[in-house]
Amino acid sequence: DQQVKQNSPSLSVQEGRISILNCDYTNSMFDYFLWYKKYPAEGPTFLISISSIKDKNEDGRFTVFLNKSAKHLSLHIVPSQPGDSAVYFCAASDGANSKLTFGKGITLSVRP
């Protein structure tokens, strides 16, 4: 049973426009959510996170929104840059030092 779902396998956007990456989860015990960026043959790089007590967290061009009632979160990248092209994983945790449950990832391509 997939507890973290990223239903779109890929997204292509024009440079300078907004990228919106979506993530849904089913486990009500998840209380912390993270987004990671990953290049081929490298480990995931942390981007931004959000606690379940918040509905928005912003860091530069990256903003994560959390809708607990819908069990949905999204990552907004504005403006998108070609260097943002990578695989983005949504991950969730039900406690510190516990396991991270990852979604399948979404491949973002930003066109110049």
Partner 1 sequence: DTEVTQTPKHLVMGMTNKKSLKCEQHMGHRAMYWYKQKAKKPPELMFVYSYEKLSINESVPSRFSPECPNSSLLNLHLHALQPEDSALYLCASSPMDSYGYTFGSGTRLTVV
Per CB under 8 A, the list member of 1, 42, 60, 83 interacting with partner 1 is: 42
- Token output for 57: 């967290």
Per CB under 8 A, the list member of 22, 74, 85, 93 interacting with partner 1 is: 93
Q: Which one, of 27, 41, 25, lies nearest residue 87 by Cα?
A: 41
Per CB under 8 A, the list member of 1, 43, 69, 112 interacting with partner 1 is: 43
Q: Quick check: 49 binds partner 1 (CB under 8 A)?
A: yes
Q: Quick check: 36 binds partner 1 (CB under 8 A)?
A: yes
Nearer to partner 1, 56 or 99 (CB): 99
Exposed e or buried b per residue across 37-72, where buried means at least 16 C-beta atoms within 10 angstroms of its C-beta: bbeeeeebeebbbbeeeeeeeeeeebbbbbeeeebe
Whether residue 56 contacts residue 63, with contact meaning beta carbons closer than 8 Å, is answered with: yes
Q: Quick check: 45 binds partner 1 (CB under 8 A)?
A: yes
β-strand partners of 3: none
Residues of this chain that bind partner 1 (CB under 8 A)? 4, 32, 34, 36, 41-46, 49, 89, 93, 96-100, 102-105
